[in-house]
Chains A and B, each alone.
Chain A
Amino acid sequence: MSDASHRLDEPSRLLALLRSIASPGVLNAVPPLLLFLTGFLGPLVLVGLTSFIPARTFGFHGDWTLENYSQLFAEGSSHYIPFLWSFGLAAACVAFLLMICYPIAYGMAKVFGKWASPITLLLVLPLFVSENVRLFGWVIFLMKGGGIFAGIMKTLFGLDPGSMLYTPAVVLFGLCYVYLPFMLFPIVLGVSMIPKDLVESANDLGASRFQMFREIEVPLAMPGLLVGGLLTFILAVGAISETTILGGQNISVVALDIRHEFTYNQNWPGGSAIAMLVTVLTGVLVMTLLNRLNLDRLLGKR
């Protein structure tokens, strides 16, 4: 009797183990996990592997090399210039957007009341139109001589603003314009997490308007500010249309450099190495900042 139950015990324990692995949670996680592996991690691994094969070759033959990376840092290499442009423009874009979006977000979360929804809609609406189309709209607006802006200036004020396109400033403007919603909405979330009574209490305890901002509002909205900043920074580092359309290739950014390697130079391993470098740099940045941020708090879990 005891013998039989002992024998029955073994398979039932195995079954229980299988059951615990195949719990509803695990089963539900399978489809997104597959998508993540094939659609996201797969290409990344391929690019990573490609970056370690000899320059201008197209297959994996087991001859791995670090040459593509050393080339980037070699004497006389000009690959650092697109890096500087990309990271510099992205940083400037984040700085400007923080200054532009905070007041708007504050208004949407605390002041506008019933007007917040129509304003949100106005800000989201451009997202339904392709980024390239919107940027070409700006080209028409800003075009030298015949553009809408130049035309108005000339007819109304007799001024010739000259060429406004193809400058770093207009590229920066394009980046700010395109990525504004990505900065704005996380900040709205962050600002709406500032409890009103904490600000009032600070005021009551002697804080001036600026002190309330510095001591209470900014620290409490920080998760939103960080997420918005990261999101825009990453998007802006990888941006390509703003430079090609508004910058007219006067400014070479990292994404253009990578495209150049892959197409014109026919150097896939070289382009992959640059892509990996960008990925690692932004990855390190994101990880460092996200470590300082409690996502649970952002999602209201405390």
Chain B
Amino acid sequence: MAEAEAFLRLTKLTKQFGKFTAVNGVDLDIREGEFFTIVGPSGSGKTTLLRMLAGLERPSAGDILLRGQRINDVPANRRPTCMVFQSLALFHHRTVGQNIEFSLKMRGVSRTERKARAMELLDMLQLPTDYYGKNVTKCSGGERQRVALARALASDPEILFFDEPLSAIDYRLRKLLEVELKDLHRATGKTFMYITHSLEEAMVMSDRIGIMREGQIIQIGTPNDIYTRPQSRFVSQFMGEVNVLAVTASGDKLEAPVHGAMLTSPPDRASGFEQGHLVIRPESVRFVSEGSGAENQLTGILYNEYAMGSRVQYHVRVGEEMFTVEKLREQAYQGNLNDEVTIGWDAKDSVLVAE
């Protein structure tokens, strides 16, 4: 059986603004029905990429293929895609109902049919049906998100794009909406393509994540892949606080710039490795006591401790390097600041990146 045609395929997709290349030759296959998230810092080109897919920006080079059909030149209003903007872009001169019905009105759907669909969507997004005639400016932040989602879903698009719609929302509501969005993805079965600068947000919702940097996608994988096997220091640091040590190969050991320590390599070390970085997640590092050992051990001074709810973080100074150690609250370190402590990790819990 021949390989199925990709649902949404980008080939060498490029966008230049004058001399600046915002998106630089992106190749990407999006599967039908998946929740794909692109994560990147601001200026990495992720918004431009999404705008090209929505038809709001014309690619400078490369192709966008939807079910094998090239859609580069199809204008935004003819694409079976819909976008939820960062600002939500709700029509503040219209009511909730008129916002939701907008795409149907543009397509000439009759008034009664439009209203029936709007009611259905209000129900689906858990908005009270008497919001139909409410002014959108009178809705709360979370309600506006739902109105924007309902509006995007109204014309039954094949792909939904999200341009950081949750970035301006406070933490608690954001957590709630992340879950709702993932449930909505499950309920509708549509393809969702989401962009954000928060890998944490991406982890919660996505089937697959693409990490974008300087106009290119530098790693694609499941949230677990990205978390456990970052392919570069950039990706590993995106996840939050990680310990990164510059190391050079020395036989089958690694030499680190902390007291000339010789560290055991992770088992999957590439054969030609010369120098790079060793990445160790804070929760993989533990305090080593008399009884228990670890493959790699370093001794330093406990510099500070930070309570983070269910977890506690410690900063341990080893030579010039500051290590972050994370423990569950009930396994917190019993001792004082400035204690001399030995920290350690097993080689299999570290990742070696060439860059």
Contacts and interface: CB of A to CB of B under 8 A. Distances in A.
B93 interface: yes
B82 A204 contact: yes
A219 B93 contact: yes
A232 B91 CA distance: 29
Contacts of A198: 89, 91
Contact of B54 (A204, A219, A220): A204
B77 interface: yes
Given A200-B56, A201-B85, A202-B102, A207 B77 contact: yes
A215 B79 CA distance: 20
Interface centre among A198, A204, A208, A215 (most CB of B within 10 A): A204
B91 A202 contact: yes
Interface in B47-77: 54-56, 75-77
A241 B75 CA distance: 50
Interface residues of B, number: 25
Contacts of B103: 205-206
B155 interface: yes
Given A205-B102, A207-B106, A200 B77 contact: no
Contacts of B77: 203-208
Contacts of A265: none
Interface centre among B83, B86, B151 (most CB of A within 10 A): B83
Contacts of B54: 204
Contact of B106 (A195, A206, A220): A206
A5 to B, nearest CB: 50
Interface string B82-101: 11011101010100000000
Interface in B241-272: none
A201 B91 CA distance: 9
A206 B106 CA distance: 6
Contacts of A200: 56, 76, 85, 89
A195 B89 contact: yes
A203 B85 CA distance: 12
Contact-residue size bin, chain A (C-beta under 8 Å from the other chain): 10 to 19
B107 interface: yes
Interface string A158-195: 00000000000000000000000000000000000001
Nearest to A220: B93
A92 interface: no
A3 interface: no
B87 A197 contact: yes
A211 interface: yes
B91 A206 contact: no
Contacts of B55: 203-204
A215 B83 CA distance: 18
Contacts of A201: 83, 85, 89, 91
Contacts of B89: 195, 197-198, 200-201
A224 B109 CA distance: 32
Contacts of A204: 54-56, 76-77, 79, 81-83
A219 B106 CA distance: 16
A207 B103 CA distance: 7
Interface string A261-302: 000000000000000000000000000000000000000001
B174 to A, nearest CB: 20
Contacts of A215: 91, 102, 106
B134 to A, nearest CB: 17
Contacts of A216: 91
Contact of A205 (B75, B93, B137, B151): B151
| Top 9 A-B residue pairs of the complex, sorted by shortest distance between their CB atoms | A201-B89, A206-B106, A205-B103, A197-B89, A203-B76, A206-B77, A206-B103, A204-B76, A207-B106
Given A198-B89, A204-B56, 10 more contacts: A195-B89, A197-B87, A200-B56, A200-B85, A203-B75, A204-B76, A204-B79, A206-B78, A206-B155, A207-B102
Interface of B: 54-56, 75-79, 81-83, 85-87, 89, 91, 93, 102-103, 106-107, 137, 151-152, 155
